[in-house]
Structure 1
Amino acid sequence: MNDRFQELRLFVRAGESGSFSAAAREMGLSQPSVSRIVSGLEARLGVRLLLRTTRKIVPTEAGHAYLKKAKQLLLDLEEADEAARGGGSLKGTLRVAVSETLCIRTILPNLRDFLDGHPQLKLEFLTADVMHDLVAEGVDMAIRFGPLPDSAFGVKKLATLRRLLMASPSYVEQHGAPKTPAELAHHDCIFGPTGVPTLPWEFTKGAEKIAVKIDPRYSFTSAEALIACAREGLGIARASVLMCKTELETGQLIALLPRFALAPVEIHAVFPAGRIPSQKVRSFTEFLAGVLADLK
């Protein structure tokens, strides 16, 4: 029976990722071994499940149907295991796609409390300020900032975080602090880590709404680089309280335009399409929501 479940796991990962090599890496096997096992599954069923091309593998019509059933069966098995344990300690590996900044500044300092209750749980973080392909990379969940594109993915809102404008004391001493959002046009602004630089920065003051189009001098795809740029006195940055909490508390950065509120940013947990979040995912999601609640 264990061989049958390994067979299903390998087929599911190969079918989702479009690669025998990716499935082999994740399962600790060689690529020829995975190909042989999936071919054996097809021979046993008497039907072609995956079409092999020089670039990738693609499920056939029968393969799509079998993939859906196989994924649900594996999920049911995992849920049965968790139910038998009575909702106690979690086991296995949880694969999370998350920005480097969120991982380093917020998750890791609080992770010990979560892991102490689940000594047999392993965590694998994909840390980068990019949008990961959840299905292809076998990710259990991703943490994403800002508006989400329409998709079939499952989503749970974790928090709404304040955004702040900030600069180093040395920058303010040299260039002065803007007194209104419009004065940002005369300052060196720092943009990142996602989005389009020409989009306006939106402020509110009471009932008044103000949109300022920013022409940034510096742009970064990394949130850590953005904060470092502001810390070095090179300009004014916009960031969530999550990104700059330490620098504000230590005085390395100071908040600007306190009477003008920036549009906040939402943070969500995103789950692969068609997949019911496992107990591991649900527990880690609850843990993150609790941690982020302290940053509001």
Structure 2
Amino acid sequence: MSDRWQEMAVFVRVAESGSLSRAAREMELSQPSISRIINSLETRLGITLLLRTTRSVSLTDAGTVYLDRARNLLAEMEEAEQAARGVDSLHGVIRLAMPVVYGTRAVIPALATFMGRNPDLRVEIIITDARQNLIVDGVDVAIRLGVGQLDDSTFGARKLAVVERMVVAAPEYLLKHGTPTTPGELASHDCIIQQGAFGRESWRFVRNKTVTSVRVSARLWTNSGAGVTAAALAGLGIALATPLMAEDELRSGRLVRLLEPYQLPPAEVWAVFPAGPKPSAKVRAIVDHLAMSLGEKT
């Protein structure tokens, strides 16, 4: 029976990572061993679960059905083992993806107490502002910021925090182009936009329950929160930022906050996980911890 659990665990990791070699590295097995285990599983079941190419693997219809059931069984086994240990410490590896600025300044500091309580848990962190494919990249939990609905509706998700947004610019830019005092004046300014969830050319403001939407002219787009701050510091335009993106620059006066009487819809911080409504104990634990730690700061 233990061989069947190993087959199931290997299959799930291969399916979620989309790569035999990546699964081998993560599970500390050789690639031939991974291939042999998958072949043994498919032979025993008498069906093909994975379609293999030289570069990647993909699920067959039968593999998709098996993956869903296998995830649930492995999660239940992990819960049983955790209960037997007394749930004082989590075990194994968890892969956590996060955006650059929010991840390094908010999420990573929040991990200190969590990892201190769970010395047998190894956390692998992926830091990038690019949107991760959770299945292909083998990500257990992704931290995402956005305004409005997430586009990963098939995954499990939990809102962790709400983050203020503001309008900022460098004094040098304002000296050349003037300082807007109403949202409507932004239409005649150069603006900086971060691609992705914030990548909208229509900025929405609220004052005294009155909503104003302004279509801005974006001369510069970037896929990075750090890039937004750098572009604003260089005097390339007016930008939307969160306090974490610009706190040092605002304190030093290298950036100034604009349109303070007006409010922008806040950014929501979400944890997204591919395990669906029943994630593993370690995923639930880290998401619970981050919800408590990050939520306290909003």
* TM-score between both structures, scaled by the size of structure 2: 0.88
Match of residue 50 from structure 1: 50
User: Which residue pairs with 1:103 in the alignment?
Assistant: 103
Q: Residues of 2 paired with 1:32 and 1:252: CA distance?
A: 56
The separation in 2 between residues aligned to 1:140 and 1:113, in whole angstroms, is 20
Partner of 1:167: 169
The Cα shift of 1:214 comes to 0.9
Q: Distance in 1 between matches of 2:153 and 2:249?
A: 36
Q: Which amino acid in structure 1 is aligned with residue 186 of structure 2?
A: L
Q: Is the 8 A contact 2:96 2:126 kept in 1?
A: yes
Question: In structure 2, what is the equivalent of residue 156 of structure 1?
Answer: 158
Query: For 1:269, what is the secondary structure of its paired residue?
Result: strand
What count of residue pairs does the alignment treat as equivalent? 296
Contact 1:106 1:291 in 2 (8 A): no
Report the Cα distance in structure 1 between the residues aligned to 2:49 and 2:225, rounded to whole angstroms: 42
Q: Is the aligned partner of 1:221 residue 2:223?
A: yes
Distance of aligned partners of 1:213 and 1:292 in 2 relative to their CA distance in 1, 3 Å threshold: same
Does the aligned pair in 1 maintain the 2:18–2:137 contact within 8 Å?
A: no
1:53 is displaced (CA, Å) by 4.6
Q: CA offset at residue 7 of structure 1?
A: 2.1
Q: Is the CA contact (8 Å cut-off) linking 1:197 and 1:215 kept in structure 2?
A: no
Kindly provide the amino acid, as one letter, of the partner of residue 245 in structure 2. Answer: M
| 8 Å Cα contact 2:157/2:272 also seen in 1 | yes
* Structure 2 partner of 1:86: 86
Give the direction of change, closer, same or farther, for the CA distance of 1:50–1:148 in structure 2 (3 Å limit): same
Question: Is the alpha carbon distance of 1:60 and 1:149 closer, same or farther for their aligned partners in structure 2, counting shifts above 3 Å?
Answer: closer
Q: Which whole-Å deviations, capped at 9, do the CAs of 1:71-121 have from their partners, x for residues lacking one?
A: 222111211122123231222211112111111121223332332222222
Match of 1:40 in 2: 40
**Taking structure 1 as reference, are residues 18 and 106 closer, same or farther at Cα in structure 2, changes over 3 Å only?**
closer
Rounded to whole Å, the distance in 2 between the matches of 1:289 and 1:169 is 36
Does the aligned pair in 2 maintain the 1:129–1:193 contact within 8 Å?
A: no
Amino acid at match of 1:163: R
Runs of 5+ unmatched residues, structure 1: none
- From the superposition, tell whether residues 62 and 114 of structure 1 become closer, same or farther in structure 2 (CA, over 3 Å): closer
The 1:31/1:220 distance shift into structure 2, 3 A limit, reads same
Residue 283 of structure 2 aligns with which residue? 281
Indicate the larger mover: 104-113 or 212-221: 104-113
Alignment-derived partner of residue 248 in structure 2: 246
1:35: Cα distance to partner?
1.2
User: Which deviates more from structure 2 when the two are superposed, residues 166-175 or residues 117-126?
Assistant: 166-175
Closer, same or farther: CA 48–285 of 1 in aligned 2, 3 Å: closer
Please state how far the C-alpha of 1:48 moved relative to its aligned partner.
3.3
Show the counterpart of 2:139: 139
CA gap 1:145/1:251 in 2 versus in 1, 3 angstroms: same
Shift of 1:295: 4.1
- Conservation of the 8 A alpha-carbon contact between 1:190 and 1:226: yes
Q: Distance in 2 between matches of 1:123 and 1:183?
A: 46
Q: Which moved more, 1:265-274 or 1:40-49?
A: 40-49
Match of 2:273 among 262, 271, 274: 271
- Structure 1 residues 45 and 293 mapped into 2: Cα distance closer, same or farther (>3 Å)? closer
Q: Which consecutive residues of structure 2, in runs of 5 or more, have no partner in the other structure?
A: none
Q: Structure 1, residues 173-230: CA drift from partner, whole Å, max 9, x if none?
A: 4433211112212322111142585631000111211111011121110111111111
CA distance in 2, matches of 1:78, 1:97: 22
Contact 1:193 1:223 in 2 (8 A): no
Secondary structure, aligned partner of 2:135: coil
Q: Distance in 2 between matches of 1:123 and 1:187?
A: 44
- 1:291: which partner in 2? 293
CA–CA distance in structure 1, aligned partners of residues 168 and 268 of structure 2: 19
Partner of 1:183 in structure 2?
A: 185
The answer to whether the aligner puts 1:120 opposite 2:117 as a matched pair is no
Distance 1:218 1:288 in 2: 33
Amino acid at match of 1:216: A
Contact 2:145 2:197 in 1 (8 A): no
3-state secondary structure, aligned to 2:218: coil
Which segment is superposed worse, 145-154 or 126-135? 145-154
Matched residue SS, 1:233: coil
Q: Quote the Cα distance in structure 1 between the aligned partners of 2:24 and 2:94.
A: 18
